[in-house]
Each structure stands twice: as C-alpha cells, then as structure tokens.
Structure 1
Amino acid sequence: MRETPALAQLRDQIARIEGTAARHAHLPFGIEAIDGHLPGGGIAAGALHEIAGSRELADDAAATVFLAGILARFEGPVFWCLRWRDLFAPALHLAGLHPDRVIFVEAGNDTHVLTAMEECLRHPGLGGVVGELGKVTLTASRRLQLASGQSGVPAFLFRRAHPVDARAEGSAAVTRWRVRAVPSERLGIPGLGRPRWELALERARGADPHLWTVEGCDAQGRIALPAQLADGPAAQEGRQAA
C-alpha cells in the first residue's frame, strides 16, 4: 500500500520526538559488531547520549578517553561543561581530540552545567557538547535531547567521578554506555600493550543491551576489536548477536 503524505509526515514527527530522525548523521565506530547493533549504524548526531565509568579511577579514565575519541571524529569545536576544571586536558590529545578544539565551561554546580549545556546546544556547527553531571532529572534530559535534536549537535552526559546508577534514573538519552578497564594483552617483551576496555551498551532505543571487549582509542579516536576476537569464533558470535 502506498504511503500517504499525512502518514509520512506522522512518521517523521514521531522520529523527531524519539530523537532518531534521519536528518541527522550517525558516526560509525568502524566495527561491524558494534555498528550493526546500533540504530543508524553509529552514534547519532542531534541526540543525547550518556557515558559513564564506575567507582574506579581507571574506569573513569577509560570512559574519558572513549568520549574524547568519539568527539575527535566529529567536526567542529567542543564545549566541555563541568563544575570545576579538574580534567587533564592534554590527555585528550592521545585520543585525537586536540586541546585547541575544546572550550571548557567551569559552571560551579550541576544546575549551571545543565544551563550551559542547553545554551551551547542551541548553536549548530559544534562538534559536541559535554556535561559532567551527577543526578539528572528526566525533564532535564528531555530538554537536552530536544535542544540537541533541533541543532543537530551531539550531546553527552558524562558521569566521570559520579558513581551514580544511571540505570535507576529515567532519561531521554538515546544511548547509555559504561566503560571499564580490563587487562591488556600480555606482550612477549616488557612494555605496555594497547589498553583494553569492557564496553557495555546498557541502553539504546531500538536495540538490546550488549557487551564487547575492545582495544582503547588510537591517535585518531578509533577503537578496535582485539585480534583474536576480530578473527576468531567470538567475532562471528558478535556479528550474529548484532
């Protein structure tokens, strides 16, 4: 049956409300097992996402680098809103996010962080807006999702140093990620292997939760599957699950 203009308009309105309108691009990870599991095949621009570590400092550091890698691959300046500036900015460059692209907004408290995020999200052309927050109400997350959808700028709620169980809170975020550091590959000679993370997609509209073991971001902000997972039976299982 041919779709009428009225029905097409209704579908488009629903997509915009859900924050999944096709008019916004998606940034792929470049890993079939992950991209194939995400609606749109990647991280949606014009949408709100949540990223968290855990109570461990190593996990918070991994989550920071994971977020920096995503932002590095979006074009445009990045506004990073936080209560006070306690982030080691030069480390972001290790994941491809040059410090010259990042503008830090020291807001003082969570309320002002939310205000700053919403104001920044009104300006198209940004590479992303980050807000380091503890507890976020459903209403506040909806306002951020709406602002992000209107401008097309990706928004990120970052739970660094905030051991909050985001799953217990209502949220309008399109995806929710949790990153944990895991042991790196053992090398035959003394040295440091590429960092490895347990990357959990705890929530995604239109997809089931999933878990991957990945290698940390390189200098271009890209993650990878460990060789034995990319080439072995686990890779096939991941593709089937995706």
Structure 2
Amino acid sequence: MADPAVLAQLRAQLRAVETKGYRRRPALPFGIEAIDSRIADGGLRLDALHEVAAGTCDMADDCSATLFMAGIAARAWGPVLWVVQRRDLFAPGVAQVGLDHKRLIYAEAADDAELLAIMEEGLRHRGLGAVIGEARRADMTATRRLQLAAEGGRTIALLMKRAAREGADPIGMPSAAVTRWRVTSAPSSPLPVAGVGRARWRLALARQKGGEGFEIEVEASDATGRCALPSAVADRKAVAGGSANRHAA
C-alpha cells in the first residue's frame, strides 16, 4: 500500500500543475483590518453570493452602492459580467474605481427572472471573475440558486437589490447571500483643492453567515478599487499603537 504522505505530496503536485502553481484564495479581502477581521471569512468569499443595497432611495446612495460593487469586481481576477434592466451603467464612472471597460461584458435583461437566469448561467461558466446583477425582487429560491451556482468556483456573485417601492427595505426579505451590505453616502474627505474631496461611504454589513453585523465609514474606492479608512480614523489607530491598514489589498 502506498505511503499516505507520498500520496498527499503527489496530489499537491498535481494541483499545482493544474493551477500553474497558483493557490486559489478563498476570499477577497478589503485589506482593512477593521473590516476583514469582522467578516467571518476574512473577506468576501469568492465562491458565494453577496447582496448590496443603497442605504436610501437617494440617487447618490444608489451610485455609491454601484461603485462599491464595481470596486470589488475591479479587484477580482478576470472578466466581469454585469446584468442590468435599465441602460444606466456609466462606463467612465466604474472605470474611475478600477473596473476597465475592456473587462466588462454587458447584458440587458427584460425582467428580474431573466436577469437572475443570466447571472446563474454566468456563474456556472467558471470563466468569469465576477457576475453582477441589479434586481428588485430575488426571493430565497432565486438567491439559493445563485449561491449554489457560485459554490465550487472562484467567481464572486454581487446582487444589487433595489427597493421595490418607497420606504421598502431591499434586503429585508430572507436570502441565501453570505453577506448583505448597505451603502450610504457620507460627507467627503477634504482635499487640498478647494471644493473637491474624496467621497466617503457608510458601509453597514447588515447580515452575514457566521458573524455579526457592523457599520464603518470608509473613503470610497480609488482608481484601483481600494477603499481606505478616513485619515483621522487611521491616525487615531496609529497613535494608539494599532494597525490602521489604510488601503485595501
């Protein structure tokens, strides 16, 4: 009978050949300790569904939530499928947070059902770095299908939930998503140029599997898709002897 240690070594060598020596990371970290340390997986699981919603019905919050997803996708590994129902995705805007238009595959769906079906097909393809969709309704059955399609791969699924009506909570209904986020605009960080400042977001992890929710204010994604702690917060942590981890990985 073959030595178990030898077999284990052989399996590791075969995996290295199949993946060209690269190890598949299980999660995409923000690179900010104050966030990653409070997420059960140390970051956003790549083989999972994550939901995002604007904190309010205000257009500024809608844009912030969109850019939050674009920044995450920008740091993923490959082409990005973005499925919408209305033609309002502004390529120069998402490019400002690091998501180059050359990586984008744009698809337009007639309704929520078609959008979710396209997302599921994209996740099962296994050749995409991220699949993003924007829907008003996606129940437990629909989100469970997306989660199952994502499992076993390395394509992160991001579903933006829009409010079906004024005052409704887009992420209030049950979902199979691993994490569920609300993104709200916050007053900008001041810059040397008068009247111009880096945008800030109030991130609220409303629910997550295996962990507690929390809220934190960050500077919006930069040209590489990375968020950062506001300078005042980072400076206070440095003075206190903590690790600020100002920029995301």
TM-score category, normalised to shorter length = 0.7 to 0.9
Tell me how far apart the structure 2 counterparts of residues 235 and 140 of structure 1 sit (CA, whole Å).
47
Match of 2:232 in 1: 228
Tell me how far apart the structure 1 counterparts of residues 114 and 191 of structure 2 sit (CA, whole Å).
46
Question: Structure 1: which 5+ runs fail to align?
Answer: 1-22
Closer/same/farther in 2, CA of residues 109 and 187 from structure 1, 3 Å limit: same
1:126 to 110, 125, 128: 128
Match of 2:20 in 1: none
Question: Structure 2: which 5+ runs fail to align?
Answer: 1-23, 244-249
Match of 2:30 in 1: 29
Instruction: Report % sequence identity.
Output: 49
2:43 matches 1:42: yes
Q: Within 5 A, what are the aligned runs for 1:1-242?
A: 25-53=26-54, 54-160=56-162, 164-187=168-191, 190-232=194-236
Shift of 1:72: 0.3
Shift of 1:168: 2.4
Q: Quick check: 1:58–1:181 contact (8 Å CA) kept in 2?
A: yes
Tell me how far apart the structure 2 counterparts of residues 102 and 41 of structure 1 sit (CA, whole Å).
27
**Number of paired residues?**
216
Q: Quick check: 1:123–1:151 contact (8 Å CA) kept in 2?
A: no
Shift of 1:227: 1.2
Q: What letter is aligned with 1:31?
A: I
Tell me how far apart the structure 2 counterparts of residues 202 and 133 of structure 1 sit (CA, whole Å).
18
The structure carrying a bigger helix percent of its residues is 1
Shift of 1:86: 1.8
Q: Deviations over 1:35-87 (max 9, x none)?
A: 00011211110100001112000001111111111000001111111113221
Q: What letter is aligned with 2:209?
A: R
Tell me how far apart the structure 2 counterparts of residues 101 and 162 of structure 1 sit (CA, whole Å).
30
Q: What letter is aligned with 1:118?
A: E
Q: Quick check: 2:162–2:170 contact (8 Å CA) kept in 1?
A: no
